[in-house]
Structure 1
Amino acid sequence: MSEEGRFKIHLEQQEGFQINVAFDWKRAADLLMDEPPPLGEQKGPNASRLLAAAAANCLSASLLYCVFKEEPPDNCLRAEAVCVMVRNEKKRLRVGRMEITLILAEAVTASPRFARCKDLFEDFCVVSASIRQGIPMRVTLRDEAGNVLHETE
């Protein structure tokens, strides 16, 4: 596979399990990561939480771009990411599956592009498509009343 793009982020251990992440974008703030007790002090998200957040963020951005292109309305989407942790045959903790739910305001569901985009947007999400190669993921679209509008496994 050819390399389409490349970026580098820098991580530096601070104390204990706290690691500072410096991104390659000057305007992006650094992020402190940490592990939960008993290893760390839970002063920042751990890698599993960032993975779930990355998948939900990528799916959200992909749907918004498909429906609205460059100008989505404010506050028209919320997301929830569930990461189910399991033990493998060697008793090592692993991400067993992810469940991402996007909660959509009427501005999204009423858009003429929504009917087409709900079947397309997942294929354009770099992160979730990559994760799915090794971790099962269910994606659900709901309106604000909780009605399921679309679901994939």
Structure 2
Amino acid sequence: MDAGPTIRITQVADYVFTVDFGAALPALLTDESPPIGGGTGPFPEQLLISGVANCLCASLVFALGKFRQEARGVAAEASCRLERNPAGRLRVTAIDVRIRLGAAAADLPRIDRVLEQFERFCTVSESVKAGIPVAVSVADRDGTRLK
């Protein structure tokens, strides 16, 4: 097994932590959302869905490049559903990622092949799917749903 990335987390105060990604990247300040935390930084659920969405977008860009398709920009919005488990603890029970391409589908002749493959390239979403359903949709610049 290859070693993956490593981070270091250090408490600053209450629920505020600094996430250290190493010397090459700036640290990230995180917090819990109110009323538990002060909301001074992204909270864990936001970090989870941003990781899933970012990985999916990067995988889509990779697949588009593989088929020499120009998306003219990729953007996404991600959300998650929180529900209480039988013990009353909040859990992420679903993630929804809505990706939008900057190009029209008509300008992407191989988009079907791209859409068939890109999710499999995403390490994060494919790993998270083992425990949390992840719904992914893709639309072109006109809002036409492609997936």
Q: Same fold (TM over 0.5)?
A: yes
- Count of residues paired in the alignment: 146
C-alpha deviation, 1:117, in angstroms: 1.1
Please tell me whether the aligned partners of residues 56 and 118 of structure 2 are also in contact (alpha carbons under 8 angstroms): yes
C-alpha deviation, 1:144, in angstroms: 2.1
Note the aligned Cα RMSD (angstroms): 2.1
The aligned residue for residue 105 of structure 1 is: 102
Cα gap change, 1:135/1:6 in structure 2, threshold over 3 Å: closer, same or farther? Answer: same
State the 4+ residue runs in structure 1 displaced beyond 3 angstroms: 71-75
The aligned residue for residue 120 of structure 2 is: 123
Cα distance in structure 1, aligned partners of 2:107 and 2:71: 15
C-alpha deviation, 1:115, in angstroms: 2.2
The aligned residue for residue 13 of structure 2 is: 15
TM-score (normalised: structure 2): 0.90
Please tell me whether the aligned partners of residues 98 and 137 of structure 1 are also in contact (alpha carbons under 8 angstroms): yes
Percent of matched pairs sharing the same residue: 36
Q: Could you give the per-residue CA deviations for residues 15-36 of structure 1, whole angstroms, max 9, x where no partner exists? A: 1110000003x33211000001
The aligned residue for residue 25 of structure 2 is: 28
Cα distance in structure 2, aligned partners of 1:8 and 1:72: 34
Q: Does 1:42 align with 2:42?
A: no
Cα distance in structure 1, aligned partners of 2:51 and 2:141: 22
Cα distance in structure 2, aligned partners of 1:22 and 1:8: 9
Structure 2: give runs of 5+ residues left out of the alignment: none
C-alpha deviation, 1:75, in angstroms: 5.9
The aligned residue for residue 84 of structure 1 is: 81
C-alpha deviation, 1:123, in angstroms: 0.7
The aligned residue for residue 135 of structure 2 is: 138
Please tell me whether the aligned partners of residues 71 and 101 of structure 2 are also in contact (alpha carbons under 8 angstroms): no
Q: Could you give the per-residue CA deviations for residues 95-142 of structure 1, whole angstroms, max 9, x where no partner exists? A: 010000100111786234422111101011000000000001110001
